[in-house]
Chains A and B, each alone.
Chain A
Amino acid sequence: MKHSTFFWFILPSLTAMILFIALPIVSVFIQSLHIEHEQVLIVSESCDPFGCEETTSVDTEASSKLRAEKPLGRFNGLKTYTNRMILAFDEVGEAWRTTDSFREFWDRVFNLPFYKSLTFTITYTFVVTPFVLILGFFVALGVNNLPKILKGPTIFSSLLPMIVTPLVGSLILFWMVDGDGVIGATLQNIFNDNSLSLKASPLLTWIMLMVYGVWHLSPFSFIVFYAGLQTVPQETLEAAMIDGATKLQRMRHVVIPHLMPLVIFISLILLMDNFRVFEPILGFSAEAHATSLSWLIFSHLRESAFPLYNVAGATSMITILGVTILLTPVLIRTWRDFNRKGH
């Protein structure tokens, strides 16, 4: 293709990408470098139906004058990134100096909101991704071996977890695992423990969220693998059979190598998706035990009356960075494959 033709082809999507993705990211980055103006506080007496109290209020005239002069706020440099809300250099450094064992150090670091969220996000990503890959693969194999008449309904019902909106799906499960819900009450019965609660224990909450994640995303890898299975070359399979390969050997030496590019594609998408885990945390009201980076951004933006745009912006930038780091190995591999094939 001529370079100019390619350019005209890609121009619309390139424009959209710059306008709606690249520029907003730049603006979020700039925002993350600024903090609010100083608020001019005045002490005042406020009276309500229950009595009078001395309080502080903002001198809005003085404050709005400051804001009009410099709408972006005060320049803060990278301090937002390093303060306690995010990377917490001072606190981590102090924890390192003052603790003896690694465990103690880790406890102190885990106490900081950003590291707490990062730990859960990474654990979630690395637990859910392989499980989804494996489970999806086996479901695809199973469906592929079904008699034709059963295939349609099975495919549809296997896709259901993905069709259900994440928030709705997690809310339904949230009520089912409640102490009075179907799953919760059954578990209490099995273990004969009336105070057993999936929502009260950090470990069980993590497991619940991850099981939900696997359940919700497996259909995606299933359908991609299933499509891949339709393209497995029959000649090679027959040749392997003639050579006396067992079912397992055919699987290992023919089917799986054929599906390898799909594995890379699915992991790429799954890593991105799982790193942004958000809805289940809201749906399961799991904030007490598990928070993710996306949830952190949400909570900073939602602190009504005091949205901390700079912290939310900085956390967003770090999330983008995290996704990039996660994807790098996979992308490098794809690039190498591409080069090999190209030459």
Chain B
Amino acid sequence: MFLKRLTLIGAFITLMGSSVYAADCGPAGQSIRILASDFPAIHAVAGAAEDNCGGAAAEFNRNHTTEARQIMNAAQTPNPAEYTSVIVANSTLVQLMNDGLVRPLNDLVGKYGGHLKQNQLITIDDNIMAIAFMANSQHMFYRTDILGQAGVEGLPATYDEVLAAAEKIRAAGIMEHPLVMNLKVGWNVGEVFNTIYLAHGGDFFKSGSAEPSINNEKGIAALNTMKALVEYAHPDHLTQASDQTQGLWEAGKAAIGFMWGSRGGVILDDEGSSEEVVSNTVLSGAPTVTGGSIPGATLWWDGITIATNVSDSEAEATFAALVSGMTTEMVSKHNDDAIWLIDGFKPGPAAAGVSATASGGAKSYPMFAQMGLLHNALGAELVDFLKGSESAEQALTDVEAVYVAGAKDAGYL
């Protein structure tokens, strides 16, 4: 009798381990609706979830749109919510949490998340609010052939070294504007300031309050660094975001880039660029200030959340489906699509920049509830300074004034 039971259990375990056994999809016959941004890594995770559990669910809908963050709050506020899950990043998690639209996942992780790693769990005061699956950050891209031609030794690791290298390239007459950065007015400009400000060790808010604290020496130093870099950037930099900078890079028109890690794989693949550019492109960590240790970048993660305003069984089925997609098999199939936080990821050359930046101790994009307002203010008000029509002090005063006006209207101050 005992032996029989043992074989049964044994058979069951083998069944669990084999790929014949479908993933545990939780309650069957539920409706699973996912809202997500639109890039390969997210397609990989959501696609794996659909393959595993699409059959068990009554419906499985995925809406991949780059406008996800613009519609998510409106879509999730009604009860029942439009989507049972939104795939978020640092800042969009805060955006949903501000309106109470995501539910704590502690119980669900206990039930279905056995294979998740501790560092995938995004917690706020011990409540698990999201499960991260990939990381991203800005970092440096270099063209080693051009650096060599201009007589730059090694890869620049600080802002001063970056500037010196850019000057050498310009002086050697190779390129007038060797640097590319995402400086499009609005979110991108604000984000570049954030990275350099963090490298200078700055804090965005007075501790424990929503009062801004960027108008200080660190802020001014960060702005001056930014201005010095911009001198070497393409004249149209204020209109350039990721697609344009990637285009310039692939066209061989830049030698030093400060771009997103998620563009690394796309640049290093065999499409859209020449062999010369691809074989000489090297990704390395974000720069620090001279004598400093914090890389100038913001670390980002992307992860899944579950909506508050849906039934518990829908929530459970959605969670089970999505975590069933976060497996080693999925990662090995899509290894170069992202910097995966899931077991089984083999970092290739495209991951070098993000790994170096993260292990160098870069900070995460701040999760303050009111951060979005400050970011918007930065994006709008730093432009005058970059154009040269305003001093750094004035620009930071303007940013704080705009932020305070907005924060008062939004109820944060």
* A276–B62 CA distance with the chains assembled, in angstroms: 37
B120 within 8 A of A: yes
Tell whether, in the assembled complex, residue A39 and residue B369 are in contact, meaning their CB atoms are under 8 Å apart.
Answer: yes
Chain A residue nearest to B130 in the complex (CB):
A48
Tell whether, in the assembled complex, residue B185 and residue A287 are in contact, meaning their CB atoms are under 8 Å apart.
Answer: yes
Residues of chain A at interface, number, CB under 8 A:
59
Tell whether, in the assembled complex, residue A113 and residue B100 are in contact, meaning their CB atoms are under 8 Å apart.
Answer: no
In the complex, what residues of A have CB within 8 A of residue B73's CB?
A: 305
Chain B residue nearest to A287 in the complex (CB):
B185
Tell whether, in the assembled complex, residue A306 and residue B372 are in contact, meaning their CB atoms are under 8 Å apart.
Answer: yes
Contacts A58-B369, A60-B100, A305-B73 given: A47-B358 contact, CB under 8 Å? Answer: no
Interface string of B129-169 (1 = CB under 8 A from A): 00010010000000000000000000000000000000000
Tell whether, in the assembled complex, residue A51 and residue B364 are in contact, meaning their CB atoms are under 8 Å apart.
Answer: yes
Tell whether, in the assembled complex, residue B367 and residue A311 are in contact, meaning their CB atoms are under 8 Å apart.
Answer: no
Tell whether, in the assembled complex, residue A305 and residue B94 are in contact, meaning their CB atoms are under 8 Å apart.
Answer: yes
A12 within 8 A of B: no
Partner pick for A285 among B184, B208, B411, CB 8 A cutoff:
B184
B368 within 8 A of A: yes
Contacts A111-B398, A304-B69 given: A288-B387 contact, CB under 8 Å? Answer: yes
Tell whether, in the assembled complex, residue A197 and residue B301 are in contact, meaning their CB atoms are under 8 Å apart.
Answer: no
Partner pick for A53 among B119, B366, B384, B390, CB 8 A cutoff:
B366
In the complex, what residues of B have CB within 8 A of residue A35's CB?
A: 408-411
* A138–B209 CA distance with the chains assembled, in angstroms: 63
Tell whether, in the assembled complex, residue B100 and residue A49 are in contact, meaning their CB atoms are under 8 Å apart.
Answer: no
Partner pick for B367 among A36, A55, A284, A285, CB 8 A cutoff:
A55
B47 within 8 A of A: no
Tell whether, in the assembled complex, residue B69 and residue A48 are in contact, meaning their CB atoms are under 8 Å apart.
Answer: no
Residues of chain B at interface, number, CB under 8 A:
69
B231-239, B254-262, B283-291: which lies at the interface:
B231-239
Tell whether, in the assembled complex, residue A39 and residue B239 are in contact, meaning their CB atoms are under 8 Å apart.
Answer: no
B99 within 8 A of A: yes
Number of A-B contacts (CB under 8 A): 176
Tell whether, in the assembled complex, residue B208 and residue A304 are in contact, meaning their CB atoms are under 8 Å apart.
Answer: no
Tell whether, in the assembled complex, residue B238 and residue A304 are in contact, meaning their CB atoms are under 8 Å apart.
Answer: no
In the complex, what residues of B have CB within 8 A of residue A46's CB?
A: 122-125, 367
A89 shortest CB reach to chain B, Å: 13
Tell whether, in the assembled complex, residue B409 and residue A308 are in contact, meaning their CB atoms are under 8 Å apart.
Answer: yes
In the complex, what residues of B have CB within 8 A of residue A145's CB?
A: none
* A102–B205 CA distance with the chains assembled, in angstroms: 36
B194 shortest CB reach to chain A, Å: 14
* A179–B412 CA distance with the chains assembled, in angstroms: 43
Tell whether, in the assembled complex, residue A41 and residue B372 are in contact, meaning their CB atoms are under 8 Å apart.
Answer: no
Interface string of A49-73 (1 = CB under 8 A from B): 1110111111011011000000001
A337 within 8 A of B: no
Tell whether, in the assembled complex, residue B124 and residue A57 are in contact, meaning their CB atoms are under 8 Å apart.
Answer: yes
In the complex, what residues of A have CB within 8 A of residue B132's CB?
A: 48-49
* A18–B341 CA distance with the chains assembled, in angstroms: 56
B95 within 8 A of A: yes
Contacts A58-B97, A84-B405 given: A50-B410 contact, CB under 8 Å? Answer: no
Tell whether, in the assembled complex, residue B364 and residue A200 are in contact, meaning their CB atoms are under 8 Å apart.
Answer: no
In the complex, what residues of B have CB within 8 A of residue A80's CB?
A: 409
B337 shortest CB reach to chain A, Å: 17
- Please provide the chain A residues from 130 to 177 with a CB less than 8 Å away from any CB of chain B in the complex: none
A44 within 8 A of B: yes
A303 within 8 A of B: yes
Tell whether, in the assembled complex, residue A39 and residue B412 are in contact, meaning their CB atoms are under 8 Å apart.
Answer: yes
B267 shortest CB reach to chain A, Å: 18
In the complex, what residues of B have CB within 8 A of residue A49's CB?
A: 119-120, 132, 135, 299, 301, 341
In the complex, what residues of A have CB within 8 A of residue B91's CB?
A: 305
- Please provide the chain A residues from 279 to 330 with a CB less than 8 Å away from any CB of chain B in the complex: 284-289, 299, 302-306, 308, 310-311
Interface string of B155-196 (1 = CB under 8 A from A): 000000000000000000000110000001110000000000
Chain A residue nearest to B412 in the complex (CB):
A39
Contacts A49-B132, A55-B366, A55-B367 given: A304-B95 contact, CB under 8 Å? Answer: yes
* A199–B237 CA distance with the chains assembled, in angstroms: 9
Contacts A199-B236, A304-B372, A305-B69 given: A310-B409 contact, CB under 8 Å? Answer: yes
Chain B residue nearest to A47 in the complex (CB):
B123
B406 within 8 A of A: yes
B46 within 8 A of A: no
B373 within 8 A of A: yes
* A91–B394 CA distance with the chains assembled, in angstroms: 13
Tell whether, in the assembled complex, residue B369 and residue A57 are in contact, meaning their CB atoms are under 8 Å apart.
Answer: yes
Tell whether, in the assembled complex, residue B235 and residue A83 are in contact, meaning their CB atoms are under 8 Å apart.
Answer: no
Interface string of B231-274 (1 = CB under 8 A from A): 00011111100000000000100000000000000000000000
Tell whether, in the assembled complex, residue B208 and residue A56 are in contact, meaning their CB atoms are under 8 Å apart.
Answer: yes
Contacts A179-B236, A200-B236 given: A58-B368 contact, CB under 8 Å? Answer: no
A43 within 8 A of B: yes
A99 within 8 A of B: no
Tell whether, in the assembled complex, residue A48 and residue B90 are in contact, meaning their CB atoms are under 8 Å apart.
Answer: yes
A77 within 8 A of B: no
Tell whether, in the assembled complex, residue B238 and residue A199 are in contact, meaning their CB atoms are under 8 Å apart.
Answer: yes
A31 shortest CB reach to chain B, Å: 12
Chain B residue nearest to A285 in the complex (CB):
B239
Tell whether, in the assembled complex, residue A200 and residue B408 are in contact, meaning their CB atoms are under 8 Å apart.
Answer: no
Contacts A49-B135, A50-B299 given: A306-B376 contact, CB under 8 Å? Answer: yes
In the complex, what residues of A have CB within 8 A of residue B384's CB?
A: 111
Interface string of A16-48 (1 = CB under 8 A from B): 000000000000000000011111010111111
* A53–B135 CA distance with the chains assembled, in angstroms: 17
* A113–B403 CA distance with the chains assembled, in angstroms: 13
A314 shortest CB reach to chain B, Å: 10
Chain B residue nearest to A55 in the complex (CB):
B367
Partner pick for A306 among B123, B358, B406, CB 8 A cutoff:
B406
In the complex, what residues of A have CB within 8 A of residue B410's CB?
A: 35-36, 39, 306, 308
Tell whether, in the assembled complex, residue A48 and residue B390 are in contact, meaning their CB atoms are under 8 Å apart.
Answer: no
In the complex, what residues of B have CB within 8 A of residue A199's CB?
A: 235-236, 238-239
A165 shortest CB reach to chain B, Å: 19
B18 within 8 A of A: no
Q: Which of B366, B367, B410 has the most CB of A within 10 A?
A: B410
A4 within 8 A of B: no
B237 shortest CB reach to chain A, Å: 8
- Please provide the chain B residues from 67 to 85 with a CB less than 8 Å away from any CB of chain A in the complex: 69-70, 73
Tell whether, in the assembled complex, residue B390 and residue A111 are in contact, meaning their CB atoms are under 8 Å apart.
Answer: yes
Tell whether, in the assembled complex, residue B176 and residue A56 are in contact, meaning their CB atoms are under 8 Å apart.
Answer: no
A238 within 8 A of B: no
B317 shortest CB reach to chain A, Å: 25
* Apart from A50-B363, A74-B411, 9 more pairs, CB < 8 Å: A39-B411, A41-B370, A50-B299, A58-B97, A60-B99, A63-B100, A84-B401, A84-B405, A288-B383
Which 3 pairs between the two chains have the least Cβ-Cβ distance?
A60-B100, A305-B95, A285-B239
Question: 7 A-B residue contacts at CB 8 Å?
Answer: A48-B132, A50-B364, A84-B405, A200-B237, A285-B239, A289-B238, A308-B409
